[in-house]
Each structure stands twice: as structure tokens, then as C-alpha cells.
Amino acid sequence: MRKLKLDELNRPDIEEFKSQEKLPVVAVLDNVRSMHNIGSIFRTADGFALEKIILCGITAQPPHREIEKTALGATQSVDWIHYTNTVDAVDALRALGYEIVAIEQAEHSTMLNTFSPNPTKKYALIFGNEVDGVSDEVMAKIDECIEIPQFGTKHSFNIVISAGIVFWDFFAKLKL
């Protein structure tokens, strides 16, 4: 078996990417601290053609060398916006018709494997701070909470791993 060369992958350029149909998903980063995590989420959002990333609170914004280390240029392909307050971002997304979904371990959460996204809806997926998770103020405003099943000794996945798992799940359920 031979690995494909980059020019054999047939990836769109940035202009083609900007005009292609997107997964009806916006990623909301609620006070994410690590610039490497932010960059990795940009790269993953590019890979699954998400509509946009919303950076909230202390979440760093491009351009920044530490974000670009892991984004590898995805900050140019994926649209993004910054809100000072995550609650304001959630309110704006709700007004635009998005279903507000926290990715969190919480009472009455729905396990990801049993969640079925509605193909007629748009989703705002909220990923929280690496230590504190999704803020209590934001949890009070959500429509749904999705939890990724886990079977090991650790309490949670890294935010980038969580984003990759959830983006893939939504892509597979809505597009494949």
C-alpha cells in the first residue's frame, strides 16, 4: 500500500472551501485557555467543513504564532468571530435559529451514541474551559447536553479529542 501525496488528496483551496456547503454546525469555545487546543480545533473544523468557530472570553484569537502551530493555516479557511461573553454568543446564535448544545458531563445528558441530530436544524456545539468545562451561566441556557461515553479512569477527554469525536459523529450522522 502506498501513501497518497498531498497533491493526490484533491483538497479544495481556501476560495473553494469558503464557497462549499458546510456542515450546519458552529463550534463555540467557552474560555478555552490553550492556544494549541484552539489551533487544533480550527484544523479539525476545517477537516469537517464546519460553518464557523466562535471564540469567547479569554479564548485567544488569530493571528497568533501559538495558534498557527497546530491550525496549519485553518484560521484562514474557517470563519470565526470573537465574543467577550459566551452568554452573548449563545443568545445571538439562538436568535439565528441554532440549537444550543453543550458538550459536557451533566445530569440528564444524552450520550453521543444515542443522539440523533435533526438534518433540518443548525447546531451550536459548546466546548468548555480545559479545567472548569462549560460555564454554569451557559449551561443554564442550553437546549441539550451531549456527553461522550468514557470507560477509563480519567474524568474527561482533552477538548480537542472531544471536538474531533463530536464533529465526526455529526458529520457521519448528517452527511454519510
Domain ranges of the chain: 20-146+155-175
At 57, the amino acid letter reads G
pLDDT, mean of residues 65-77: 98
Measure the CA–CA gap between 164 and 119, rounded to whole angstroms.
20
pLDDT, tens digit (0-9, with 9 covering 90-100), for 12-40: 999 999 999 999 999 999 999 999 999 99
Please work out, in degrees rounded to the nearest 5, the angle formed at the alpha carbon of residue 110 by the alpha carbons of 134 and 149: 80
Beta strands in 50-114 (DSSP E): 50-56, 80-83, 98-103, 110-111
| 3 state DSSP class of 125 | strand
Fold of 20-146+155-175: Alpha/beta knot (3.40.1280)
Measure the CA–CA gap between 170 and 172, rounded to whole angstroms.
6
Measure the CA–CA gap between 127 and 133, rounded to whole angstroms.
7
Confidence of residue 84 (pLDDT cuts 50, 70, 90): very high
Confidence of residue 68 (pLDDT cuts 50, 70, 90): very high
Mean pLDDT value across the chain: 98
